Structure 1
Amino acid sequence: MKFSLGPNGYGKAETRLVRVEREGVRHTITDLNVSTKLSGDLAATHLTGDNSGVLPTDSQKNTVYAFARRFGIGEIELFATTLASHFVASQEQIHKARVAIDAYSWDRIGDHSFAKAGGEIRSAVATVTADGAWVTGGLRGLTLMNTTDSEFHGFPRDEFTTLKETSERILATDVAATWRFGTLDVDWGPAFALIRESLISAFVETHSLSLQQTLYAMGTRVLEKVPEVAEVRLTLPNKHHFLVDLAPFGLDNPDEVYFAADRPYGLIEGSVLRDGAPDEGLAWSS
């Protein structure tokens, strides 16, 4: 029998990094989770155990810390791109580097005191090869709710359908969004803020006939507001809220008291692509 080595790579996963910027008595913190992945001419280590082309994952971890001190961090998209470019440029055998970063938020409660913020996480992934570089940004854990202006009706029914049509329901979701930039010439911080605001404003302003319709409105709003973005991908779980029957207790329920179910839930996914934008499939790969 014959065998061959398929696609492969290696790296250091989830390097935790906290950087404190001390500007007098007022401090600023950046809290990151950084993962690196390198690929290229690595057949020897798999086939013969020759590690002469394998930059240790411990060295990758140390590079993250050293670059945080040497260059600072700034916007996570730029920090990820700087790290990925370094690995490709400094290691002859490495042809592709991917750096993924999650950023965790803290709320300021004093000049040098902070409280961990909610579950929302900003993310960025930079991929660098000898032929070019691309960046995706994202966020997850953004929980949104509309208590009206949401309907769901006109769907097909079969022998197992019990769901009632409704012209009044709660619409709630935990937004997980990823967007692909068509350029590296981006003012990363303001772009992220505008993308986040666009997702939220589209959710708020859309009279929803389905969560799918809302997804498309959110993705379209981002592309309208941020021309550097070529594609937006959204994953929206439908966080169901069911009206509680209070009749057994002699009470009415005019759309006021709900049961918030955590599972099972509908899961709506989709992407919105700018017309004419190249479909860079590699930008979405791991």
Structure 2
Amino acid sequence: MAVVLGPNRYGKAETRVVRVTRDGEAHHLKDCNVSVSLSGDMEEVHRRGDNAAVLPTDSQKNTVYAFAKKHGIGEIEEFALLLARHFVGSQPAIHHARVEVEEYAWERRGPHSFARSGAEVRTCVVHHDRDGTTTVVSGLRDLVVLNSTGSEFHGFVQDEYTTLPPATDRVLATAVTARWRHVPPDGGEPYDHGKSYEEVRRCLLDAFAGTYSLSLQQTLFAMGERVLLTRPEICEVRLELPNKHHFLVDLSPFGLDNDNEVYFAADRPYGLIEGAVAHDDAPPAGPAWD
């Protein structure tokens, strides 16, 4: 029975890079976390320890820093594309590059003073093959949203272990993780990834706020649908919505009513609702979501 090498990749994970662009007295800040994974003709290094085809992960880290200096960091999708194309184009043994970038937002407080802006993180993952196939998945995580009414949950299955009472007026809160896949450009102008990101984010927020929800699943679909009906450059949206439960506090021991006013915000355990919403003619995803 033969033993064969299966799928494999290697790279440098979580290279933190902060790029300051000095425009006179006004400075601009980009704070990113970059992870690179490369795959290709790696049989010899795995079987015999022959490193002739291996680009050291330290070199990958240095490339991130050098590209931050040479090219700056604009939209994170464009920075990831530059890196992915570079690694595939410059290394004969590398057939596929995966570059993931997280961006941490800073709020301007002066010409050269900044404050971290909440917990929300912008994300992207770029895949690039030697045959020129490229996929871009943009996204965000930890976008915390809450509706204080306009949500119900009832009519669900009840078995011998069910204790949850039906709810006709509840708080609905979640921390959105969303990823959306771009349609490959059809020979036209490259996407404005910055504008696309802001518009998709707005669609997600508008749909969450504007949906009278009978379940978090219904809200998930409404959020993905709003993006797809509004943004032609997007063909698929994947969402992870943890249900941040808010339970009414029993104030009767203190002689007080609680008319949906005082809640206990529980952090765990929590329901986790996940789903994909796509155009029925969306092109195959390939490794895009990996």
3-state SS of 1:134 partner:
strand
3-state SS of 1:125 partner:
strand
State the alpha-carbon separation in 1 of the partners of residues 96 and 286 from structure 2: 15
Residue in 2 aligned with 1:192? Answer: 197
Once the 2 structures are TM-superposed, how far is the Cα of residue 224 of structure 1 from its aligned partner?
A: 1.2
Residue in 1 aligned with 2:52? Answer: 52
Residue in 1 aligned with 2:162? Answer: 161
Once the 2 structures are TM-superposed, how far is the Cα of residue 279 of structure 1 from its aligned partner?
A: 2.6
3-state SS of 1:92 partner:
coil
3-state SS of 2:116 partner:
strand
State the alpha-carbon separation in 1 of the partners of residues 246 and 194 from structure 2: 35
1:42 has 2:42 as partner:
yes
3-state SS of 1:248 partner:
helix
Once the 2 structures are TM-superposed, how far is the Cα of residue 156 of structure 1 from its aligned partner?
A: 1.2
State the alpha-carbon separation in 1 of the partners of residues 251 and 286 from structure 2: 51
Once the 2 structures are TM-superposed, how far is the Cα of residue 225 of structure 1 from its aligned partner?
A: 1.4
Once the 2 structures are TM-superposed, how far is the Cα of residue 77 of structure 1 from its aligned partner?
A: 0.3
2:267 aligned partner, one-letter code = D
TM-score, normalised with respect to structure 1: 0.98
2:111 aligned partner, one-letter code = D
Once the 2 structures are TM-superposed, how far is the Cα of residue 259 of structure 1 from its aligned partner?
A: 0.5
State the alpha-carbon separation in 2 of the partners of residues 281 and 261 from structure 1: 38
Q: How many residues align?
A: 285
State the alpha-carbon separation in 2 of the partners of residues 71 and 254 from structure 1: 57
3-state SS of 1:65 partner:
helix
1:69 aligned partner, one-letter code = K
Once the 2 structures are TM-superposed, how far is the Cα of residue 130 of structure 1 from its aligned partner?
A: 1.6
3-state SS of 2:288 partner:
helix
State the alpha-carbon separation in 1 of the partners of residues 285 and 174 from structure 2: 28
Once the 2 structures are TM-superposed, how far is the Cα of residue 223 of structure 1 from its aligned partner?
A: 0.7
Residue in 2 aligned with 1:219? Answer: 224
**What are the Cα deviations for residues 203-236 of structure 1, in whole angstroms up to 9, with x where unaligned?**
0000000000000000001111111111000000
Once the 2 structures are TM-superposed, how far is the Cα of residue 68 of structure 1 from its aligned partner?
A: 1.0
1:241 has 2:246 as partner:
yes
State the alpha-carbon separation in 2 of the partners of residues 141 and 75 from structure 1: 19
3-state SS of 1:17 partner:
strand
Once the 2 structures are TM-superposed, how far is the Cα of residue 82 of structure 1 from its aligned partner?
A: 0.8
Q: Aligned match of 2:212 in 207, 215, 220? A: 207
Matches within 5 A, 1:76-115: 76-115=76-115
Residue in 2 aligned with 1:26? Answer: 26
State the alpha-carbon separation in 1 of the partners of residues 79 and 279 from structure 2: 26
Residue in 1 aligned with 2:149? Answer: 148
Residue in 1 aligned with 2:283? Answer: 278
3-state SS of 2:200 partner:
helix
State the alpha-carbon separation in 1 of the partners of residues 284 and 248 from structure 2: 43
Residue ranges of structure 2 left out of the alignment (5+ in a row):
none
Matches within 5 A, 1:174-193: 174-184=175-185, 185-193=190-198
Once the 2 structures are TM-superposed, how far is the Cα of residue 108 of structure 1 from its aligned partner?
A: 0.8
State the alpha-carbon separation in 1 of the partners of residues 40 and 246 from structure 2: 49
Once the 2 structures are TM-superposed, how far is the Cα of residue 172 of structure 1 from its aligned partner?
A: 0.1
**What are the Cα deviations for residues 101-136 of structure 1, in whole angstroms up to 9, with x where unaligned?**
000011111110111111100001111002211110
State the alpha-carbon separation in 2 of the partners of residues 273 and 112 from structure 1: 42
Once the 2 structures are TM-superposed, how far is the Cα of residue 94 of structure 1 from its aligned partner?
A: 0.3
1:160 aligned partner, one-letter code = Y
State the alpha-carbon separation in 1 of the partners of residues 193 and 183 from structure 2: 13
3-state SS of 1:252 partner:
coil
Report the RMSD for the aligned CA atoms in angstroms.
0.8
1:105 aligned partner, one-letter code = A
1:278 aligned partner, one-letter code = P
124-133 or 1-10, which deviates more: 1-10
